[in-house]
Every structure is written in C-alpha cells, then in structure tokens.
Structure 1
C-alpha cells in the first residue's frame, strides 16, 4: 500500500511564510532585470531613479539597440535588422548561428510574401541551404523552402510561416542572442524563478498536501477555506517602497 502523504495545514503554512524575509534591494534588482530584459528602457530609467537601483547594462543599448532590431524584424525589414545588429556587435550573428539562420529564413519568407520568387530561389540555394546544412537546420529549411511549391502562398500547409507570429518568433530568437551577448542571460530572472516555483510545486505534490497556489498571477490558494491573496513579505532595506 502506498504511504499516505503528509498534510501541512494553513496555520503551519502561514507561520513559515511569516518567517521569510526578502530584502527590498533584491526585489528591486529583480524588477530592474525584468524591465531591462524585456526592453522597457524608459520604465527602467524611471524605476532606477525612484528606487536607487542601477541597471547592469547601459539603457541606451536597450532602447537604441535591441528594441530597434526587434521592431525592424517585426516590420519585415530583415536586412535593416542585420545591419543594426552588426552596428551593435559584428560577432553576435557568428557566435549565435540560430539567430543568423532565423534572420536569413525570415528574409526568404519576406521575398516569398512579395512574390519575388526568382530572388527567393537564388537566395535559398546560395545562402540559406548551405547555412541550414552547416548548422543542423535542414528540416526547418525544407519546410520553409516548400513555400515555393504553392502558388497561393496564403493558403497552403505552411502558410503559418507568413503570419505575424513568425516575425515575432524570429525577433524573439534574435533578441535572445543579443541579450546573451550583453548580459549572459537569455531571459528575465523572474521567468526562471517562476519555472523553479512550478517545478518545486510539482515535486512537493508528490510528498505532501499543502495550501497550494492555484494561480501564480493572483496568488489565489487552491482550497476555498484557505486564505487567498499574496503573502506580504517583510523587507529589510533603506530604499523607499515603490
């Protein structure tokens, strides 16, 4: 017979929560990291002024760098995006071949979108195919290349490549490469913490029953007889509350 799981009541849960202290400086750094990583340069500047928290990188490189590249990709201006990346750091696209392939792939897609078929064919065979073969992207190349087969580019099995979501995905991959080159991080620390929290919840579920969070965004607890709402941590910091 399987051993029954240990139960942790709300009284114990709340008592343990009350003993947790989070430094305000650490929370502010987490917020600043999120704002910088997501590209909210103006908000990061204001937050830094009000909280006394310094960003790890020059905010000018965020606003005039990553975000400009992201916007160019989302608008379908791939060559412009590549030029801007080279202005930031010529080595980025050579160090991160996935980002380079994604941009070249997107350029091919834009040629197809505007029915520049001959140019697309030449580019695919002369640049995209060798890049895909060299870096292990052949399957993705073949799927993208199949756009040439269909006369109606808007209604075919790979028409999703022509949607805005594809531009956004390319922008995400490129943004990640630039971010890693500048900060050695591919995403905001907040996302990593949430992933860790989800993993801990899953592991804890195997061993005990406890007042489990039902919704991370609202901090609502699972059972109706349990206290809902986020726990208020105590902060030890000289900075004012933000």
Structure 2
C-alpha cells in the first residue's frame, strides 16, 4: 500500500499484485461454499437443484428437502389461482400456520374471488364471497373494506378501462401474500428470508461504498455481479484523463 500524501486529498493506492496476494492467505473451505449455495437454493425454492446438489455434496439443507418442494408448489398454486391446493399444501406442512394466521386464508380466498369476477362469474363470485369470505369478516370486521374494494369491480362494464386496471392492480396481492407465507415458513425453520449469498454480496458492495466515501481510495471494486467484472485503479484512469485535457 502506498500513500501519495497525508492531507485531506490523499489517495490510497492498492497495488494489484499485493491485493491479489492477500487472497492467497484467505482459507475458504469447500464445505462452507457448498453450504452457502445450498442455503441459496433452499431460500429460493429451487427444489430440483437443491435435491441434486445434496446428492453430489452431501451438504445438509437448512430445512427438509421436501419442504423446499412444498414451498415451490405453494408458489405455483398461488400464482396460478389454485388457492385450495395452496391451502392444502400449507396444511400438509403444518396446520398451525394458517390457524395462527387466519387472515392469510382470507387473502388467499380473496384472490380466487377476484379471479371469478374477472371471468364474469358474478353469481358464483357472490356465493363464494358469502360462503368462504363472510366468516372471516364476521370474526374480523375490519376486513369488510377488502370485500367492498373487490366488489367495486362489478360496477365496471369494461375491466380494460384505466380505472378498472388501477383497481385490479391494487387488489392483486399474490406476490405479497406469497412472500408473507414463505417468510412464515422460513421462520418456522429459523431460516432468514435473505440468503447468505445475497447478504455477502450486499455487504461487499456496502463495504466498497464506505471505503470510497471515507477518503479518496483506489481499491479493486466489484462492478458487475453477473460477469464478475472487477475494476482496478480508478484514480489512475482519472489522472490519465486530466493529463490528456492538459
């Protein structure tokens, strides 16, 4: 490490060879890397990949491998409006989840009601609302506003109108409902909803920004995560540009 000066404008320059040399003293065990990868596969419901990876590496997943599959199926069910199947899978995992979070069942069934209305099955929608959603409203009256909003759709003759589209967008809560369910399941197994790999990457970028902001500093920076591009000697490039202008 070389210091050009010690004033406020001092630039710390990290030699490439010295920087890379430091990595030789860092010991990273293969099993640790495998655990990070397995955690990523599990958190993101990549059942097939996690299953094969477990066979190849013998790394124990953060939760039963079948739970990863169930979470994937729950995701598929919710996104494709197969609400009853999603509820069944959640109950197969643990019936206490939906018993403890009854409003989740309401929001899941609300998505089915929305689908019925959008398909112009109005009579079926009214019956479904009375039979499936009314009991939850009786138990928690504040949910009536959720029903009123969705019933407003019936007043629109054309669901493709701008106002109708805005209301539909407001009512569509598949992703937020799915995330909440998935977070509850992950928490059940004491697994963070953010994978270890994602945390490491965020921390790396945060550290780079802190170092650069604290004082003028030329350090190798990870610029592109997809291709692994690392930028070296940022201050040298700037100096060259200044000399050319002169």
Using structure 1 for the length normalisation, give the TM-score: 0.72
Structure 2 equivalent of residue 207 of structure 1: 214
Match of 2:31 among 25, 31, 35: 25
SS of equivalent to 2:186 = helix
More helix as a share of residues: 2
Q: Which moved more, 1:35-44 or 1:24-33?
A: 35-44
Structure 1 equivalent of residue 243 of structure 2: none
Structure 2 equivalent of residue 85 of structure 1: 90
1:114 equivalenced with 2:123 (yes/no): no
Q: Structure 2: any 5+ residue segments left out of the alignment?
A: 1-6, 236-246
2: CA distance, partners of 1:198 / 1:146: 46
2: CA distance, partners of 1:179 / 1:148: 37
**Closer/same/farther in 2, CA of residues 49 and 131 from structure 1, 3 Å limit:** same
Structure 1 equivalent of residue 41 of structure 2: 35
Q: CA deviation at 1:79?
A: 2.2
Structure 2 equivalent of residue 232 of structure 1: none
2: CA distance, partners of 1:118 / 1:28: 54
* Equivalent pair of 1:86/1:92 in contact (CA under 8 Å): yes
Structure 1 equivalent of residue 79 of structure 2: 74
Q: Which moved more, 1:94-103 or 1:194-203?
A: 94-103
Q: CA deviation at 1:78?
A: 1.2
- The structure number with the bigger radius of gyration is 2
* Equivalent pair of 1:99/1:177 in contact (CA under 8 Å): no
Structure 1 equivalent of residue 159 of structure 2: 153
Q: Structure 1: any 5+ residue segments left out of the alignment?
A: 227-242
Q: Which has the bigger relative contact order, CA under 8 A and spacing at least 6?
A: 1
Structure 1 equivalent of residue 14 of structure 2: 9
SS of equivalent to 1:213 = strand
Using structure 2 for the length normalisation, give the TM-score: 0.71
2: CA distance, partners of 1:166 / 1:220: 37
Match of 1:45 among 51, 61, 86: 51
1: CA distance, partners of 2:213 / 2:33: 30
RMSD across aligned C-alpha pairs, in angstroms? 3.6
2: CA distance, partners of 1:112 / 1:170: 19
- The number of equivalent residue pairs is 220
